[in-house]
Each structure stands twice: as structure tokens, then as C-alpha cells.
Amino acid sequence: MNWTADNNGAFDYAADTRGFTFAAMLEYHERRWAVRFAEALMPKGANGIHLDADMSRARAENIECELHGTVLRHQEGIMRFLSFVNHANMGSYREAVDNFLGGLTAKPDITAHPLHTTIKYGFGPNFEQPLNDWMGVFGRWGWDEGRHESFAYTEVDETAEIGFGGRGEPWHRKFDRTGLVFVSNGISRDHQEYLTLGGSGFLLGDGRLNYGRENIIETYYTLHVWRGIYPSFGLQHINNPGYNRDRGPVVVPTLRLHLEL
């Protein structure tokens, strides 16, 4: 359920408020590798519902390379490398801080700038490795330059993740699923100072910041009850939510239901 467990949190992927965009994508596949490239529209404002159709001003380039290989117990694993470059009307955390310290704004304001185009970029690898016929491990690392405004996905500038997932075959529940993941997220120094001085992003901002990495443990179990009925029970434990040592920890239980008719 956590955004940085199911996606690379540092990948500020092109999307509107609901997570959609318009894009063109090309893919090329060989037996052991693949490459993908996409050109997408960015929102007009941070987490905005309206996309900017002027691609000379706002757009996103994304490229992903994927490799398949057998390195462990004859189990084929996958390694991917992602890179992105966003062009949009994004503010600078350093400029917002300097304007506040210089008395130009009442508080740091990442949106207090004329319409312009800046560039935000980042990259990250991830892997998936089966260990046997019922269990596998996965991991991810991500980084973006952190100088410009978190704009579309979430406020993360660096992330690391490790976890496992499996089926219930050893306890004779082959249609059950379970998983456990640990994620550690961070933000850049400019981003930290901006929030410490009272600035707000589209998700974060409570007037001050006693910085600490946001560390998350999440687990779930999906139970096959009967035919197409699959309830799923989850639990998250979040230390330093919003990167603030003065907050949390937070425990988040979840319950989902999947039905197939």
C-alpha cells in the first residue's frame, strides 16, 4: 500500500493528480533484454489535475533497460535500470530559502516564482530474484537531484528497498500470497532546510522539521477463502513520518478484498 514500496519513490513520474498522463512509448525486446523509452506530458502545477500540452515548456523523458539472466539455483532473475528527466514549471528549494532569508517572502514558498521551465532528473536500479518455486527477493534504489520541487508523485529524493514475496505452498495454501518489505526514504539538504524553515510542499509541511530518514516496514497476507474471494490483511510501521523525528511512529493496518466473478 505504501507508495514507496510499490514504486520508486524518487521517480517523480509524469502524472496528474489521479496518476495519469498522455505519453508515447517505444519498446524493443530481445530474449534476454529489453529497452523502453517514453515521452510524456507533465502537470501544469505540482500534483495538478491539468496537464501542460506545450511540450516546448513541459515534458518528461523516461528510459528503462531490462536484463534477464540466471545467476542463482537456475532461477532466472531480472535487473532493471531507470532514468528520467522532467521539464516543468518547478521551483528551486534553494531559491525559496534564499528569498525567505532575504525578506522577500513571509515564509519559504516553492511556488513564488514566475512561469519558467526547470529540469529535474534522477535514476535507479531494481532487481527481482526467485529463490525457489514459491519465494523470491526484490530490491530497489532511487535518487533524484533534490534541488527542484517534488512535482508529480511524492516527496522523496532518495530511497532504498529490500523485501521478499511468496506463495503459501509450504503450508499447503498455494493460492495464498504474502510479503514483507523494508523501505528507507530521504530528502536532499535543500529540501530539508526548506521544510525546517516553514515551507510546504504538495504533501509535506508542518512548520518545522527535526529531520530523520523515514523508515517503513510493511507486510501483507492475501488469503484465498473460496473460489474468487481473496481478502488481504496488511500492516505498516512508519518511523519518522514526513522525515520528522517529532512525529510517530505510526502503525497503519489495512484490509482489502479482491473478488473474481
pLDDT exceeds cutoff 90 at 258: yes
pLDDT exceeds cutoff 80 at 73: no
Beta bridge partners of 151: none
| The pLDDT value given to residue 157 | 98
Over residues 221-239, the mean pLDDT reads 97
Over residues 30-59, the mean pLDDT reads 97
Band (pLDDT 50/70/90 cuts) for residue 206 is: confident
Q: Which residue has the cell 496528474?
A: 16
| The pLDDT value given to residue 37 | 98
Residue 241: CATH number of its domain: 2.40.160
| The pLDDT value given to residue 72 | 82
Distance from C-alpha of 23 to C-alpha of 58, rounded to nearest angstrom: 13
C-alpha Rg value of the chain to the nearest Å: 21
Q: Cβ(41)–Cβ(21) under 8 Å? A: yes
Q: Which residue has the cell 515548456?
A: 57
Q: Residue type at 121? A: Y
All cell numbers assigned to 58 = 513541459
| The pLDDT value given to residue 74 | 86
Distances (CA, A) of 198 to 90, 139, 195, 241: 19, 34, 5, 17
Q: Residue type at 96? A: A
Dihedral sign for Cα atoms in the order 148, 149, 153, 156: positive
Read off the pLDDT of residues 90-120 as tens digits, 9 standing for 90 and up. 999 999 999 999 999 999 999 999 999 999 9
Classify 192 as helix, strand or coil.
Answer: helix
Over residues 34-57, the mean pLDDT reads 97
| The pLDDT value given to residue 95 | 98
Tell me which residue range forms the domain holding 132.
3-259
Band (pLDDT 50/70/90 cuts) for residue 46 is: very high
Distance from C-alpha of 15 to C-alpha of 197, rounded to nearest angstrom: 29
Over residues 36-55, the mean pLDDT reads 97
Band (pLDDT 50/70/90 cuts) for residue 58 is: very high
Closest C-alpha to 84, from 21, 136, 130, 161: 21
Over residues 158-162, the mean pLDDT reads 98
> What are the E-state strand segments in the chain?
23-29, 33-40, 59-72, 75-88, 118-130, 135-144, 158-168, 173-186, 214-222, 229-239, 250-259
pLDDT exceeds cutoff 90 at 65: yes
Average pLDDT, the chain: 97
Give first-to-last CA distance, the chain, whole Å.
24
Distance from C-alpha of 228 to C-alpha of 258, rounded to nearest angstrom: 8
| The pLDDT value given to residue 138 | 98
Read off the pLDDT of residues 235-257 as tens digits, 9 standing for 90 and up. 999 999 999 999 999 999 999 99
| The pLDDT value given to residue 55 | 96
| The pLDDT value given to residue 235 | 98
Q: How many domains does the chain have?
A: 1
Over residues 194-205, the mean pLDDT reads 96
Over residues 223-228, the mean pLDDT reads 96
Band (pLDDT 50/70/90 cuts) for residue 71 is: confident
